[in-house]
Structure 1
Amino acid sequence: MSDEHEPRPFADDDSIRRVGEGMLACTLPKAEWTHEAHIATCAWLILERPDIVPERDLPHLIRRYNESVGGVNSDSEGYHETITQLYIAAVRSALTRSAGRGLADRINALLREPEGRRDWPLRFYSPERLFSTEARLGFVEPDLQRPHSAVEKGGS
């Protein structure tokens, strides 16, 4: 399992806020909705938008954004519940380890950690299970190993 992509860091706090606000407003260009943007938006919501509960609200927000840029949310593409919930828990856990630092510094550090990598979920899920219709439409438990308890779904 190897993620050959080097993370693309954010220049500053405002660039993260721009991505998060653009996703919420459905004005972010589709090409900018990268893996890094997903992670940064999740972290920004946790840190600066207490009115939004990612575990509850991100599914709808991501589906809405996907549709706004011409995407489809179906059994085989678009929004993915298991990946989303897994990363929300991972981002929450990582943010507890970087308290006291600036927004961009915290998110750029997370992107360099295992939990920030695109292939991180494959440590816990076989590709068949992770990319199944069941996992896309609802949260499924891992079939290889459980994530550290701090990053399990719901943080429990």
Structure 2
Amino acid sequence: MAMDSPHSWNKPGKVYDGPDAILARVAAFRARTLPKPEWDHFAHLTIGHHYVATYGAEEALERLRNDISRYNEACGVPNSDTRGYHETITAFYVRSIARYLAQVPASMPLLDQVHGLLNDALGSKAIAFDFWSKERLLSTEARRAWLAPDLKPIDALEAWVREAA
């Protein structure tokens, strides 16, 4: 059973004061100086948005694998079987962010794009649990490598987006 429905995600509202705040968070992440308490879900989405918008989904995922792992190490978080980088979650959100970006005009200002993502169903912290059981998604196997969903096929993301709209 899914932990969340497309109609009950938590919306964060306005997270950033302007585009400079977004770019500063990206820069701090890349420099591995972002304070660990600030590496929350919204920061993950913000960084993911930047990478997907800048590099495209495939290259973004390659870069995120490396950069998230290096950031974790800089913060003293081991990339292990139970902590740190999570391949399935990262790959899923890269796909979700790419889907979101395909829906918005390229001319939309950065601040509006990022706030739109953070307030969109695709940016929900619980969306993955509509596709994976908790046990499967939080497994060592899913952390190490892409593990296909067990509740809904990933191709159902399109229908999920339509239902959530």
Q: Do they superpose with TM above 0.5?
A: yes
Partner of 1:154: none
Give the deviation of 1:132 after TM superposition.
Answer: 0.3
Give the deviation of 1:4 after TM superposition.
Answer: 7.0
Is 2:111 the partner of 1:104?
Answer: yes
Structure-2 separation of matches of 1:48 and 1:15? 17
Structure-2 separation of matches of 1:5 and 1:69? 27
Is 2:47 the partner of 1:41?
Answer: yes
Higher relative contact order (CA 8 A, sep 6+): 2
Give the deviation of 1:5 after TM superposition.
Answer: 4.6
TM-score with structure 1 length normalisation? 0.87
Please list the CA deviations of residues 23-42 of structure 1 after superposition, one character each: whole Å capped at 9, or x if unmatched. Answer: 11111111111100110111
Partner of 2:37: 31
Q: Percent identity?
A: 34
TM-score with structure 2 length normalisation? 0.83
Give the partner amino acid of 1:67.
Answer: E
Partner of 2:12: 7
**What does 1:1-156 correspond to in 2, within 5 Å?**
1-2=3-4, 5-7=10-12, 9-48=15-54, 53-99=59-105, 100-148=107-155
RMSD (CA atoms) = 2.0
Please tell me whether the aligned partners of residues 23 and 65 of structure 1 are also in contact (alpha carbons under 8 angstroms).
Answer: yes
Q: Which runs of 5+ in 2 are unaligned?
A: 159-165
Question: Structure 1 residue runs of 4+, over 6 Å off?
Answer: none
Give the deviation of 1:60 after TM superposition.
Answer: 1.0
Please list the CA deviations of residues 12-33 of structure 1 after superposition, one character each: whole Å capped at 9, or x if unmatched. Answer: 1111111111111111111111
